[in-house]
Amino acid sequence: MNKLDIAFFGFCLTLTVASGFLQLFGLLAYWANILALVAAVLGGSLITLESVKELLHKHFGVDILASFAIWISVLVGEALAAAVVVIMLNGGTMLEEYIAGRSSKAIEKLMKSAPLTARVHRDGKEIEVPLNDVKVDGMVYVNPGEKIPVDGIIEKGNGLVNQAIITGESVPLEKFVGTTVYANTLLENGTLDIRVTKKSGDTIFAHIIRQVEEAQLRKAPVERIADRYARWFAPIILSVAVITQLVTGNVISTAAVLVISCPCALTLATPIAVAAGLGNSARDGVLIRGGTYLEEVGRCNVAILDKTGTITLGKPEVVDVKALGKNTVIEVLSIAGTAEQRSEHSLAKAVLDEVKKYEVSLAEPEELEVKPGYGIIAKNSGHTLLVGNMNLMKEHSVVFLDEAALYMERETALGHTVVAVAKDGEAVGLISIADTLRVGVKDSIAKMRQAGLEKVVMLSGDNLAVAQEVAREVGIDEVHANLLPEDKVKYVHRYREQGKCVIVIGDGINDAPALASANVGIAMGVTGTDVAMETAGIVLMADDLSKVARTVTLSRRVLSVVKQNVIFAMAVNITGLILSTQGLVNPVLASVIHEGNALIVAFNSLRLFGRSSS
């Protein structure tokens, strides 16, 4: 879509609106008709050209019928009606091109977020080099707060890596010698020496970009309902017109056949209903990027959901605090908060949020040592405070009895992260931290089934224990875990190959390939990334999963109204055809009938504006 196309559409739209205004108030009738005629002829020529191309490919679509509508309307003096058809069809095409352009821009933005250079050692010096100059088996070096530029294996060092962009995991992972790291993930603390295992163009992140692009190119446009009818309706009308002329020899009867068959009502059958549905969904906080997505989502029977950020909030929270011995929950939080208050770690933020809830007062630590991969050691008023994992506790000879061990085993089995707290070598307590479920998510999934979705599946980059526990809590039918973005795409393709119509619901960059590969992708609009939202056909502006079921229900109502419109429009056309072939309807009366037909279809569609999707 270039500036010339936009200018041309704007010119035709201006002429059509001006003509309609003048005719509505009975002003300058001659010039009103001229304005509409210019818009119809200019726009109609382009549509007719496309119709001819379709005919050459043996495809009879609604554009072919619309071409007849435009030129027959012009011939019988209905230039404004012809101009309206031009605006409707060209406007829809421009909207589709605009959406495609937005998706391309999102991909470009994502690509720019990745590091373009890597730090290496050359001739005894540390220098920055372009990624293309980094060889497989070479070494790169990453400092705290930097993005990792390559896929590789850690040869030296340890630290916390936030790899949500790749796996969607909500909690940064401890990385140490021998573990794998991915390009474009963030090293939150620690330093890493990484041996490169893949070229820059072969990284997991590069695969995400390619998969989104390829999926968008492969995705065929959803066929308009009117096109399915027009495929056989257009040839029939042309045949009837020819037969009428041959049998009767009456040009007036033949003209009446063509006029009564002008597909105004058939052409309007889908767009007005869809426009009403889009308006309805927008009021409900659901942004649908065009009628094809609104039509398609109502046909879907499988929903695939991402876990982190979609079913869960994607933000670690304290779910339980266990005080040990004679200590209290307040004392556990006070010690943990004092040690963690300067930390930027996501688990520390979860602890500090819990401290605020209890209104616990914190002391300022006199000394502070952060041990990447272990935890924090703080000094306060002569006391040594430890907050971290069991490796830190063992290093300082802190003993946790069987009661604590059983607690940690149970919480870990649930997929929770357990932070140990000690003071002066004595165990004080344990803090269980987890990514929490969205409010009402279980009910939302139940409503998806009520709306007609046969199966609800969860795909997650998180570990299996965590994913299974979440699935059990919310009522998921099927769960697959430890998945990379390309693995999620494989599951989407598997269901589609089985003949299923698939909805994918996600929020992250790692979900983008699956969103693009689905029949319909639905993105979370508040927590979702730009790429997820631009790749998806539908965006939930309030991150409310209950809106998925409402959108599916609304889509099915729209499809029902479209079918009503098509059946009514064709019934009128067929009746008019019969009467026209008998010479009982002249071209003027035929024009009145087909305009009335279109008006009834429009009013039937407008009912959707006032109907709730709930």
- CA dist 133 and 566 (Å) reads 61
Amino acid code (one letter) for 63:
D
Average pLDDT over residues 345-373: 85
Average pLDDT over residues 588-600: 63
**Which two tokens mark 340?**
């963690």
Q: At what angle do helices 587-606 and 271-283 cross, to 10 degrees?
A: 20
- CA dist 286 and 8 (Å) reads 31
Q: Would you name the residues annotated as active-site residues? A: 306
Of the listed ranges 67-71, 316-320, 369-373, the least confidently predicted one is 67-71
Residue 155 confidence class, pLDDT cut points 50, 70, 90: very high
H-type alpha helices, 396-484:
402-413, 441-450, 464-474
Q: Which helix (H) or strand (E) covers residue 213, if one does? A: helix 204-218
Question: Cβ(264)–Cβ(595) under 8 Å?
Answer: yes
Question: Cβ(613)–Cβ(551) under 8 Å?
Answer: yes
SS3 labels along 320-387: EEEECCCCCHHHHHHHHHHHHCCCCCHHHHHHHHHHHHHCCCCCCCCEEEEECCCEEEEEECCEEEEE
The residue with tokens 């307590």 is 429
**Which two tokens mark 366?**
């006199």
Distances (CA, A) of 502 to 293, 494, 614: 12, 10, 21
* 370 CB-side CA count, 13 A: 16
Nearest to 120 by CA among 134, 106, 104: 134
Residue 421 confidence class, pLDDT cut points 50, 70, 90: very high
Residue-level pLDDT at 96: 47
Question: Cβ(492)–Cβ(516) under 8 Å?
Answer: no
Residue-level pLDDT at 456: 93
In this predicted model, what pLDDT tens digit does every residue of 529-570 receive, in sequence order?
566 667 778 888 667 888 888 889 888 888 888 788 778 877
Residue-level pLDDT at 76: 63
Structural domains of the chain, ranges and CATH numbers in brackets: 117-148+151-202 (2.70.150.10), 281-312+438-553 (3.40.50.1000), 315-436 (3.40.1110.10)
In this predicted model, what pLDDT tens digit does every residue of 490-534 receive, in sequence order?
999 999 999 999 999 988 777 888 888 888 988 886 555 566 667
The residue with tokens 């309609």 is 20
- CA dist 110 and 125 (Å) reads 31
In this predicted model, what pLDDT tens digit does every residue of 385-410 receive, in sequence order?
999 989 899 999 999 988 899 999 88
In this predicted model, what pLDDT tens digit does every residue of 98-137 receive, in sequence order?
544 554 555 566 667 788 889 998 877 888 899 888 889 9
DSSP assigned state of 81: H
- CA dist 183 and 165 (Å) reads 10
Residue-level pLDDT at 220: 44
Long-range contacts made by residues 31-37, C-beta under 8 angstroms, separation at least 24?
A: 32/80, 33/77, 33/79, 33/80, 36/79, 36/80, 36/82, 36/83, 37/74, 37/79, 37/83
Amino acid code (one letter) for 245:
Q
Q: Check residue 295 and give left, alpha or beta (phi > 0: left; psi -120 to 50: alpha).
A: alpha
DSSP assigned state of 494: H
Residue 374 confidence class, pLDDT cut points 50, 70, 90: confident
> Is it the case that residue 326 has pLDDT exceeding 50?
yes
**Which two tokens mark 405?**
């061990």
Residue-level pLDDT at 222: 43
Look over the chain and give the mean of its residue pLDDT values, rounded to a whole number. 79
> Is it the case that residue 323 has pLDDT exceeding 90?
yes
* 375 CB-side CA count, 13 A: 24
**Which two tokens mark 272?**
């007005």
The residue with tokens 């005894």 is 124
- CA dist 179 and 282 (Å) reads 46
In this predicted model, what pLDDT tens digit does every residue of 1-34 receive, in sequence order?
556 767 777 777 788 878 777 877 777 877 877 8
Q: Specify the pTM.
A: 0.60
Residue-level pLDDT at 321: 94
DSSP string, 100-137: HHHHHHHHHHHHHTS-SEEEEEETTEEEEEEGGGPPTT
